[in-house]
Amino acid sequence: MSLRSASAFTAMTVTGSFSNGCPIVQIAVSGPVTNPTNFNAIVDTGFSGFLLLPILEAFPVGLILRGTIPITLPDGSTQTKLTCMGELHFDGESQVGLIIIEYQSTDVLVGMDFLTKFRRELVVDPANNLVKLSKSVPIVPVPPPPQPATIVTATPAPPINPTQTT
Partner 1 sequence: MNGNPRQLAEKGEAIYKAKYQQEYERQYPGKYAAIDVTTEKAFVADTPEAAVELLQKENAKAFFHLVRIGAAGVFKVGFSVHSNDSNWLL
Given the rule CB under 8 A, which residues bind partner 1?
44-49, 52, 55, 65-76, 78-83, 85, 96-98, 100, 102-105, 111, 113
- By beta-carbon proximity to partner 1, the closer residue of 59 and 103 is 103
Residue 12 C-beta: closest distance to partner 1, Å:
24
Residue 109 C-beta: closest distance to partner 1, Å:
8
Distance from the Cα of residue 150 to its chain's centroid? 44
∠ Cα 59 62 66 (to 5°): 85
Close Cβ partners of 112 (under 8 Å, ≥ 6 residues apart)? 45, 47, 48, 49
Close Cβ partners of 117 (under 8 Å, ≥ 6 residues apart)? 50, 88, 95, 97
- By beta-carbon proximity to partner 1, the closer residue of 66 and 157 is 66
> Pick from 165, 118, 138: which is nearest to 14 by CA?
118
Residue 85 C-beta: closest distance to partner 1, Å:
6
Distance from the Cα of residue 109 to its chain's centroid? 13
- By beta-carbon proximity to partner 1, the closer residue of 116 and 136 is 116
- By beta-carbon proximity to partner 1, the closer residue of 33 and 151 is 33
- By beta-carbon proximity to partner 1, the closer residue of 80 and 147 is 80
Residue 101 C-beta: closest distance to partner 1, Å:
8
What does the CA dihedral 107, 111, 113, 119 come to, rounded to 10 degrees? 110
Residue 44 C-beta: closest distance to partner 1, Å:
6
